[in-house]
Amino acid sequence: MTANPFFTRSKLPYELPPFQEIRVEHYAPALDRGMAEQLAEIAAITGDASPPTYDNTVAALERSGELLRRADYALSTVSLSDATPEIQALDAEYRPRLAAHQDAIHLDRALFARIDALFAERHQLGLDPEDLRLLERRHQDFLRAGAGLTPQQQERLRELNRELARAATAFQQNLFDDTKAGALVLDRAEDLAGLSDDAIAAAAENARSLGHEGKYVLSLKLFTNQSELAWLEDRSVRERLMTASLSRGLDSNRELVARLATLRAAKAALLGYPSYAAYAVDDLTAGSTKAVEDLFARLVPPAVANARAEADALREAAGGELASWDWSFYAEKVRKERYDIDMAALRPYFELERVLHDGVFFAAGQVYGITFTERPDLVGYHPDVRVFEVFEEDGSPIGLFLADFYARGTKRGGAWMHALVDQSRLLGTRPVVVNNSNITKPPAGEPTLLTVTEVKTLFHEFGHALHGLLSDVRNVSFSGPNVPRDVVEYPSQVNEMWMLRPEVLARYARHHVTGEPLPEAVVDRLVEARRFGEGFHTVEYLAAAVLDWAWHSLADGRQPGDVEEFEAAALETAGLAMPEIPPRYRSTYFSHVFAGDYSAGYYSYIWSEVLDADTVEWFETNGRSVRESGQAFREGLLSRGGSVDLMEAFEAVVGRPPRIEPLLARRGLTA
């Protein structure tokens, strides 16, 4: 075997992993050696005969695990974005082992004793605010990981964590297979009536790439309400597409959902919490289950009232029955009638390259003074991946941004940001971040035309990328999006504001053939129509958030029973039982919470949106230029990552605590 490229720091710019050299067989030796090296580093810390200091204990722990971090970040990236069967098998094998490795560190009594001794004297150590926060964070992390448990309890915790890792990996891989298998295969172009010519061509190309030559394939996106439902004219095709979407995981993940929920309830009880929701929220900015439930209680009634009013209008347009697969179709008709906007007809104005360069990148330059240069000489983990170098206004380097836009059979659904290298002054590393989307790839030589929703997703995910790219912290544990889960969506949601800003929209919203700008009257109607459908979108989101919350509010020992019955009861109890609006994610394909780290935290999107809506209002009313406001937002919030209390940082930048009123106004929930 060739020399393992993980064994030395990459010599590529910004330590981009040398994917052209990395082979599947390199991961396992690197992960094995990485875990062994980190345990040896921990043993050196605990074996130090001198009294514990911040540098020989906390900073030493922060420096540890360099090789493991390199290999794990790379494997995590490809397991989500290019999951071949070999990669899937590796991921399934190593997730439980990596979970056990973390337990070995957090349950090391000698290591915790040193951290605990430093914590007791933390205010006498003369630490600067970031290092003091890291010491406090480490102490809390160890306690939450079970450092205070008896040896017998710790062994039980290790067992639970291993089982959770196995079950979560199985859930993700089952969902990957079910989503791929659930793609809707159609025989005739007529079945796709209502879709644009380029969308039909893309479906044909998708079919060809999946081995269905001469047919048409609509691959499923991760969420429930597939985007094609807005335009497909054949009601039976719409029903088949919605059924395929809703059915994912019902066979393969049904038992895993209940198992994951009961395992988490058992873990929370072992750590002294009445539920996993209570355990999760104790470490987040919400602070208590009551705070989350109060937010739900305030939002659900007006959201449902709005959605019911929307449903009445759609039934009138449909001439009677309105099913879940009809909602988007008739919503599009009503939107067109009320606001004279045909969303499908807007796609020629949103060509990917123009949206990226003259929209997303241009806005980042206007707000934060940064620039982007594509680096075709640098190779990503898949041929579709593009690499951009990011610079400050004065030309000094920031890091790398990798863009992976297109759907493929080896990529999970949805859109997300991922780090390959975290920024850290302690480690001497600059950020390398990835944005993933699942845009249908057009035939060769054809432009990639986006829906309005896909444009919004690009701006949203790039907000996460900015959080990583603009990080400026000493400690890697605080880098970029390493913030409490319920505020991690805040910067990404703020970045959506630039999508419809006139000075940004005018640059990128141009017809891909004629170059003509999106007509001003259409822009005005688009802005006016933004609130149309907020009842649907809010109920769809809240239903998913409530399902997450219900599963993770189970007490230890309570068996949830059948998944579908549990879902129905949870939605009925919350006042969100609307058959026409299924949750954005049903439990069996709710990857965020059953295979990701949003467990008992999906509420964070709306929690973060409180901060987001208030920040947008601040940008628009504070009397400063966009560039001045952007610099203040960057220096006070984006660059600080988890090194500060984000709520305190918000107040320092905006000048007051956050208010919910801008969110209520945005979503039409003030009545």
Question: What are the residue numbers of the active site?
Answer: 461
- Max CA pair span of the chain: 81
Write the DSSP string, 111-178: HHHHHHHHHHTGGGS---HHHHHHHHHHHHHHHHTTTTS-HHHHHHHHHHHHHHHHHHHHHHHHHHHH
Using alpha carbons only, give the angle 330, 332, 338 rounded to the nearest 5 degrees.
Answer: 100
* CA distance between the termini of the chain: 67
Is the CB of residue 473 less than 8 Å from the CB of residue 424? yes
Among 192, 513, 496, 185, smallest CA distance to 347 is for: 513
d(CA 455, CA 220): 18
d(CA 593, CA 346): 34
With the CA atoms of 477, 481, 483 and 488 taken in that order, what torsion angle do they form, in degrees rounded to the nearest 10?
-160
Helix, strand, coil content of the chain in percent (nearest 5): 60, 5, 35
Using alpha carbons only, give the angle 614, 617, 623 rounded to the nearest 5 degrees.
Answer: 130
Q: Which two tokens stand for residue 15?
A: 């330590």
Q: Which two tokens stand for residue 650?
A: 């918000």
Instruction: Return the H-helix or E-strand segment holding 434.
Output: strand 432-439
Q: Which residues contact 464 (CB under 8 A, 6 or more apart)?
A: 416, 417, 433, 435, 481, 488, 491, 492
Using alpha carbons only, give the angle 407, 411, 414 rounded to the nearest 5 degrees.
Answer: 70
